[in-house]
Homo-oligomer: A and B are copies of this chain.
Amino acid sequence: MQIVEDLIRLLGKDAVLTGKDCAPWSQDWTGGYMWTPLAVVRPRTTQEVSETLKLTYANDVAVVPVGGNTGLTGATVAEGAIMVSLDRMTKIEALSTDAQTVTVQAGVVLERLHEAAEDAGLFFPMTFGARGSARIGGMLATNAGGSNVLRYGNSRDLCLGIEAVLPDGRIVNLLSGLHKDNSGLALKHLFVGSEGTLGIITRATLKLVPRPKARATAMVAAKSLPDALKLLRRLQAETGGQVEAFEYMPRLFMTMHMAHFQDATEPFDAPHDVNLLVEVAATSDRDSTPDDTGVTPIASLLEDTLFSLLHGGEILDAVVAQTEAQRRSMWARREAAAEITFARTPYIDSDIAVPLDKVAAFLDAAQAAVAAIDPGAETLVVSHLGDGNIHHTVYPTRTDPGVKDAVKEAVEKVTLAFGGSFSAEHGIGLSKRASMARQKDPVALETMRAVKAALDPKGLMNPGKVLPD
């Protein structure tokens, strides 16, 4: 192909992969999507991204940007398209401890950024299971969430500024280390979460925060989800908002987890239905300096609060991690969610958010709606409960072809009825375009299409993603 030859001439042979060399970029990590790209271009600089896009634009060739390729929605499917991989743009360009900001190229792996922040005595709080592979550009393009959103916000909230390359190769400089910048339309926010449909994010300035000096982690069994929400409020009140994670795992999660891992155990002496992973984190010396017995005040506070709730009958059981190993094991259980979820097939998964006070009612209604279609179906839930975010997976017993769509639509309808969203943190990609068509406000869809057409008039950037036809 002429375009591939032109790209090789432009960037050099080592920057343009074709044929078998494209294999790592030819499927997503679930294996659910496979494709054959025309070539994978691996630019080293923003300028090279810009030159690449000038060429593809002039030749009307579709472009799919890719970071760590760890998404779950098929957003990097690139059949016959040029993929632009950011994996060689991995410079951490500037880190200011005084301003508590860091500027990076978009190909930096999330875990590398964690380490760089830690080395500087600071903390980059965005984290999720794929942190060892996911890259900052993809994290921003999908507005990734995770377990710390409760305290620190999502990727969007941690992003002070970006640089991006538009579909025609122009570079738009929205880099900023500022906490306030009201100078015109919020273009940064348009690119964040756009899943590569408006351009390619090439650099970003991100917020860093003080590094927690001590953490305290517990598993808690609550009587019900409304009681769990009360527990969250109580812990926030006692700690002055230092709750960093509040994760919900129901009974089925526990049994599937123990079936999957031979040496896994129940978190409590008796099995419970509402199992919560709770973590609080202290940044102050006051709360993090251990006493004579080695216990930190934040850990005492968590322990005292849980003891008092247990004593008052407000929770059913609680176990506070006494060692880092115990803490790691509590987290390992939670972080095995994707693995155990997708090990059982067939599955019908949704990534849902509802208002915090609607989670329990939503789950009941969704259960009923699924049972009406397939009475034998089981539903696995794991939830960032503090954000109202529910990873909801149905295992159908019926195998006829219509069941998947019927279940998906039924769950969506219940979601909408509770004021929720059918996509909380995973994005739309290819896999949720039908949901967008069915459930999103029609005027919102028209407005998105107008913005897309304005910024990408030829429709070359990650075509066929996010917006339904």
Interface contact A284-B100, CB-CB below 8 Å: no
Q: Is A444 an interface residue (CB 8 A)?
A: yes
Complex: A89 Cα to B453 Cα, angstroms? 34
Interface contact A176-B283, CB-CB below 8 Å: no
1/0 per residue, CB under 8 A from B, across A259-271: the answer is: 0000000000000
Given contacts A238-B284, A440-B183, contact A353 B451 (CB under 8 A): no
Nearest-neighbour CB distance to chain B for A64, whole angstroms, equals 18
Q: Is A423 an interface residue (CB 8 A)?
A: yes
Residue of B nearest to A427 (CB): B182
Q: Is A463 an interface residue (CB 8 A)?
A: no
Q: Is A420 an interface residue (CB 8 A)?
A: yes
Which residues of chain B come closer than 8 Å to A153, judged between CB atoms?
Answer: 157
Which of A184, A283, A448 has its CB near the most chain B CB atoms (within 10 A)? A184
Which residues of chain B come closer than 8 Å to A176, judged between CB atoms?
Answer: 419, 421
Which of A154, A170, A193, A301 has its CB near the most chain B CB atoms (within 10 A)? A193
Complex: A47 Cα to B66 Cα, angstroms? 43
Interface contact B180-A154, CB-CB below 8 Å: yes
Which residues of chain B come closer than 8 Å to A358, judged between CB atoms?
Answer: 99
Which residues of chain B come closer than 8 Å to A156, judged between CB atoms?
Answer: 186
- Stretch in A8-16, A78-86, A141-149, A395-403 with 4+ CB within 8 Å of B: A141-149
Q: Is A309 an interface residue (CB 8 A)?
A: no
Which residues of chain B come closer than 8 Å to A393, judged between CB atoms?
Answer: none
Q: Is A357 an interface residue (CB 8 A)?
A: yes
Which residues of chain B come closer than 8 Å to A290, judged between CB atoms?
Answer: none
- Stretch in A25-33, A111-119, A239-247 with 4+ CB within 8 Å of B: A239-247
Nearest-neighbour CB distance to chain B for A141, whole angstroms, equals 11
Interface contact B237-A443, CB-CB below 8 Å: no
Complex: A466 Cα to B185 Cα, angstroms? 8
Complex: A157 Cα to B180 Cα, angstroms? 11
Q: Is A178 an interface residue (CB 8 A)?
A: yes
Interface contact B240-A286, CB-CB below 8 Å: yes
A105-150, CB < 8 A from B: 142-143, 145, 149
Q: Is A380 an interface residue (CB 8 A)?
A: no
Residue of B nearest to A155 (CB): B182
Contacts A182-B426, A183-B422 aside, 11 further interface pairs with beta carbons under 8 A come to A99-B355, A145-B180, A157-B157, A177-B419, A183-B428, A185-B194, A185-B448, A186-B192, A240-B284, A286-B301, A450-B455
Q: Which 5 A-B pairs have the closest CB atoms?
A: A189-B189, A98-B357, A454-B454, A240-B284, A180-B424
In the complex, 22 of the A-B residue pairs with CB atoms within 8 angstroms, ordered by the A residue number, are A101-B355, A145-B182, A171-B443, A172-B443, A173-B443, A177-B355, A178-B388, A178-B419, A180-B387, A180-B425, A181-B421, A181-B423, A181-B424, A182-B424, A183-B428, A184-B428, A184-B445, A185-B190, A240-B286, A450-B455, A451-B455, A453-B454
